[in-house]
Structure 1
Amino acid sequence: MGTTFFRTSDLAKELGVHVNTIRLYEASGFLAPIPRGTNGYRQYSVLHLEQARLAWLALRWPYVGDKHQLVMLVKNAANGDLGMAMEFAYQYLAQVRVERTYAESALEFLERWAAGRTMDASPHPMHIRQAALHLNVSVDMLRNWERNGLLTVPRDPTNHYRLYGGAEFGRLRVIRMLVKCGFSLMAILRMLQQFDSGNTKSLRESLSIPPEENADKFIVATADHWLASLLELEQRAQEIIEQIGRMIEIFPAG
């Protein structure tokens, strides 16, 4: 029985992508060398199909961290080093899990603040440059967060300079931690608006789910539901590992 070959369109249809995506995979070194028939047409094998499936799983947006790690994973698989590809896959899974831990910790920090627990040891009021130094952020960051509605800073009645006190520092620490852990300013604003309205019961959920009645007003990006995205990315990392494992079984000599 002869070997079954696939066309570019066959691989594209199997993965649900454009044929140009398959061509890009070939040009980028994500597939093993592709022989051509006597008619000059490419002859993709099952090996190429599985390599393309791995590239599609690993490289589509979103992903955590530097894409280079995932590119090396796919290229090692294309070069036949599935053991190295598996090592990269587990490194990536660990990275996703670390990001998820950071996000969960930020949400616990938020809930502690929302419960009214003191976040700072009542620092004396500070002007913006002192506040930025105290929080180890830039003045521009503080101004940007205020400009985006995340907080309102009282003014010194004598000179109208901003005065940051204990309440502002507590709120700013929550904002800073959420930003550092990947949550978008839009998601944080949505959560803080709910907090300011007196509803402190489901702040965690409000960071992930835009109100349905206002959904048309929001551009919903990955960072607008970051924790849910991390759960999805962890699942995809597991799928990458499973795909490499399947390739090792199908192509043991690879």
Structure 2
Amino acid sequence: MYQTKEIADRLGIHPNTVRIYEEWGFISPAPRLENGYRIFSDIHLFQLKIARTLFKNEIIQENLRHQARQIVYASGSEDFILAEQLTKAYLAHLRQEHKHALHAITIVEKWLKKDPIENKSTFSRKEVAQKLDITVESIRNWERNHLLEVPRLPNGSPVFREKEIEQLIVIRSLRRAHYSINAIMRLMQNIEQPEPNVIALLNTPSDDEDIVSVTDQFVQSLLQAIDDTVEALSLIREVQNSQK
């Protein structure tokens, strides 16, 4: 049995964090002594470890955070069977997201190796949006953010050639892999370098960028989240075994 400060010290957190986690349902309600002091058990210790492990790594994508919270809520209600099922699904999702992120980099690398593009065919913005299954507003947004320069007719209408379409394919893939506008801009601005290091360009913020942005470090964050989720799964199985 542990008092609030004792269990907090075991995890290196502030006692208020323990109280907040109980209030949020991340751990089971702690019984109280006659003097009102909370008393925590080893189950609470496991629940705290699971929550701290899953929340260790910050990932901007809200869907991933939501899945992690659902695992913690299941653990907090002592439904460790459900927690294990949710953790397995979360781990599979993280691995799939990591695969998509790496695929985006592969697309860029393949794009770099292609022969010069012949710009014979031209398309309107609407035609390109339909062709690539993206919205017209997304294309406008990427243009406004200078991710690509689109030639224009004398009347000011944009004309998309094969070159711009390939650039859009790369941009679309990287945005779906959750790279930030700044990361993609950095890549586009430096892509003509001899043998550019694509991963380094995407994942290294410049001095004038927000260096705490997780988006620019999405691949590394996913790898860390995968490791943390494997650890959380081990904790969940450990607590299940302790209850047998």
TM value normalised by structure 1: 0.85
1:137 and 2:134 are equivalent in the alignment: yes
Name the residue aligned to 2:243: 252
Contact in 2 for aligned 1:126/1:165 (Cα 8 Å): yes
Structure 1: gaps of 5 or more residues: none
1:233 CA drift (Å): 1.0
Change beyond 3 A, Cα 1:135–1:235 = same
1:16 CA drift (Å): 3.6
Contact in 1 for aligned 2:57/2:225 (Cα 8 Å): no
Contact in 2 for aligned 1:103/1:178 (Cα 8 Å): yes
**Matching of residues 1-254 of structure 1 within 5 Å:** 4-7=1-4, 9-59=5-55, 62-63=58-59, 65-117=63-115, 124-156=121-153, 158-196=154-192, 198-210=193-205, 214-215=206-207, 217-220=208-211, 221-249=213-241, 251-253=242-244
Aligned residues with identical type, % of pairs: 29
Contact in 2 for aligned 1:187/1:225 (Cα 8 Å): no
Contact in 2 for aligned 1:118/1:170 (Cα 8 Å): no
Change beyond 3 A, Cα 1:107–1:195 = same
1:150 CA drift (Å): 0.8
Structure 2: gaps of 5 or more residues: none
Distance in 1 separating the partners of 2:143 and 2:14 = 43
Question: What RMSD, in angstroms, separates the aligned Cα atoms of the two structures?
Answer: 2.2
Task: Return 158-167 or 126-135, whichever deviates more.
Answer: 126-135
Change beyond 3 A, Cα 1:92–1:117 = farther
Change beyond 3 A, Cα 1:110–1:117 = farther
SS of residue in 1 equivalent to 2:35: coil
Distance in 1 separating the partners of 2:28 and 2:150 = 59
Distance in 1 separating the partners of 2:25 and 2:173 = 39
Contact in 1 for aligned 2:54/2:225 (Cα 8 Å): no
SS of residue in 2 equivalent to 1:101: helix
Change beyond 3 A, Cα 1:13–1:107 = same
Task: Return 167-176 or 76-85, whichever deviates more.
Answer: 76-85
Change beyond 3 A, Cα 1:241–1:208 = same
Contact in 2 for aligned 1:194/1:200 (Cα 8 Å): no
* Residue-pair matches, total: 241
Report the AA paired with residue 218 of structure 1: E
TM value normalised by structure 2: 0.88
* Post-superposition CA distance 1:100-122 (Å, at most 9, x none): 11111111111011112578x96
Contact in 1 for aligned 2:3/2:37 (Cα 8 Å): no
Distance in 2 separating the partners of 1:67 and 1:225 = 16
1:81 CA drift (Å): 2.7
1:132 CA drift (Å): 2.2
Distance in 1 separating the partners of 2:72 and 2:122 = 53
Change beyond 3 A, Cα 1:45–1:117 = farther
1:123 CA drift (Å): 6.4
